[in-house]
Structure 1
Amino acid sequence: METYNQRASTSQSRRDNFQDTALGLVSTLSFPAIVGTADMMLKSAGVYLVGYEKIGGGHCTAIVRGNIADVRLAVEAGVQTAEQFGQLVSSLVIARPFPNLDIVLPIASRLSQFTGDGYSRLSNTAIGLVETRGFPALVGAADAMLKAADVQLAAYEKIGGGLCTAIIRGTVANVAVAVEAGMFEAERIGELNAVMVIPRPLDELEQTLPVASCWIEERQPLRLPVNIKEKEQVAEVEMVGLPDLAKLPVKIVEE
């Protein structure tokens, strides 16, 4: 059975593992802004992106981890980027966080997902994001983007407050053309809130973005009758009549 000294030694060892690390958080008021902010944080320092937290009302937070100096530099770059977008809410750097903080926060379950082999589902592409207030404007913008250039709609993200973001991928030129078309259509239908084009995103950034299930697995065609009459015809072919038991001959066994 584990003794008190062993537990204390284990706890101290876990704390030592966090002596030179830090947790950095930058919060914005739109999803495109937080993705652009996260992209700048990753490219400005040696940190890795843990993920995003969306708490409603449009509030999104990018969370990074690394050594203290890198996290401070990344958060500073993220704050400057968010201020340029006019979307900064707040920022925070926590030096040497205790392990219990990671366990309690919902980001803990995602730590292992972003420390692997850097696998990218769609590398060497650009990412475009168009955020609207209202779902009809989002659907209209997505339709306009797909028709304006050779891009693919990866997914869409909802962050509360009526804000939703269409996420497209393609070459830098195609994404730029598509986003411009999506902006005009969103403004025509409803309200455009934010846009973002990120050329050559890092693997870590791509892995944190939502991807529709159709990108991962191929849907099988659903085979149904074309109309009701066809269904009735199929049923008639499959029906088999049963014989009348009263008219069947009875075999008599002689003793």
Structure 2
Amino acid sequence: MDANRQNSGYSEQSVQHEFRDMALGLVSTQSFPAIVGTADMMLKSAGVHLVGYEKIGGGHCTAIVRGKIAEVRLAVETGAQTAKQFGQLISTLVIPRPFPNLEIILPISSRLSHLTNGGASHRLSNQAVGLLETRGFPAMVGAADAMLKAADVRLMSYERIGAGLCTAIIRGPVSDVAMAVEAGMFEAERIGELNAVMVIPRPLEELDQTLPLASCWIEQRQPLRVPINVKEQEKEVIQIPDLQKVEIPIQEEYL
């Protein structure tokens, strides 16, 4: 039993030693486009990993980042300034050296495992992300339709965060996304209430991995199989006689 305690104590000490320089950072806003834009700036300003988002209803969204204590503090400070510029900042928090039990209980353990296994990347995407948030589902659907018709973009998914807030998420070239979002804004205001918009020109790949994606883009496309019932008719084969064996009658001409 003493040996088990010693082994258990050793494992706890090793875990605490591993996380002694690590921290969790949280920034909360009241808009999904605002939290995505805030998370983008946090990733680009410091060496942190984006664990994900937590949506608790009423429009409240929290971005959770993880990294070394100094980097997390810098990221949270940048995120707070960004959220203030959007007029959406609710609260911030930095937890130095969080106990492993906290990370396991919070809904971020699967993402942490993904990051630990090297699943994260800081490469920049070639396409922009556009987010348009409305209060009311019809306004979001109408805005999404207007965006698709206005420019060469694709509707990737939509997000609901409570309090009637819905966000359409599009992808495409930067100029097309900007044009589409502008068209969507007018349509959303015509139908209902526009709450927030965001255009991220070159999002990090790690940010992309945390955004929702519709099942039609996740599932592998199957090849289109069209049944063909038309069969080519066999042509009749005609045998050509041997010209050497054919008797040709000779007619004599009389003068």
Amino acid of the residue matched to residue 56 of structure 1?
A: G
Please say if 1:150 is aligned against 2:152. Answer: yes
C-alpha contact 1:130 1:183 (8 A) present in aligned 2: yes
1:203-235 C-alpha deviation (Å, 9 max, x unpaired): 1100000011111225669x9xxxxxxxxxxxx
Q: CA offset at residue 119 of structure 1?
A: 6.2
Please say if 1:125 is aligned against 2:139. Answer: no
1:93-142 C-alpha deviation (Å, 9 max, x unpaired): 0001110110111111221234524469x931000000001100000000
Q: CA offset at residue 151 of structure 1?
A: 0.2
**Map of 1:35 onto structure 2:** 36
Amino acid of the residue matched to residue 18 of structure 2?
A: N
Q: What secondary structure sits across from 2:102 in the alignment?
A: helix
**Map of 1:139 onto structure 2:** 141
Over alpha carbons, which structure has the higher Rg? 2
Q: What secondary structure sits across from 1:144 in the alignment?
A: helix
CA distance in 2, matches of 1:174, 1:42: 24
Q: What secondary structure sits across from 2:161 in the alignment?
A: strand
Q: CA offset at residue 157 of structure 1?
A: 0.4
Q: CA offset at residue 198 of structure 1?
A: 0.2
CA distance in 1, matches of 2:97, 2:49: 16
**Map of 1:241 onto structure 2:** none
**Map of 2:237 onto structure 1:** none
Deviates more, 1:202-211 or 1:103-112: 103-112
1:171-190 C-alpha deviation (Å, 9 max, x unpaired): 10000000000001000000
TM-score in terms of structure 2 length: 0.83
Q: What secondary structure sits across from 1:49 in the alignment?
A: strand
**Map of 1:186 onto structure 2:** 188
Please say if 1:75 is aligned against 2:76. Answer: yes
- Give 1:202-217 correspondences, 5 Å limit: 202-217=204-219
Count residues with an aligned counterpart.
223
C-alpha contact 1:114 1:204 (8 A) present in aligned 2: no
C-alpha contact 2:32 2:61 (8 A) present in aligned 1: yes
**Map of 1:240 onto structure 2:** none
**Map of 1:250 onto structure 2:** none
Q: Which runs of 4+ in 1 moved over 4 A?
A: 218-221
Q: CA offset at residue 63 of structure 1?
A: 0.2
CA distance in 2, matches of 1:130, 1:104: 32
Where does structure 2 lack aligned partners over 5 or more consecutive residues? 226-255
Please say if 1:62 is aligned against 2:66. Answer: no
**Map of 2:251 onto structure 1:** none
CA distance in 2, matches of 1:68, 1:119: 20
CA distance in 1, matches of 2:219, 2:143: 25
Amino acid of the residue matched to residue 179 of structure 2?
A: V
Where does structure 1 lack aligned partners over 5 or more consecutive residues? 224-255
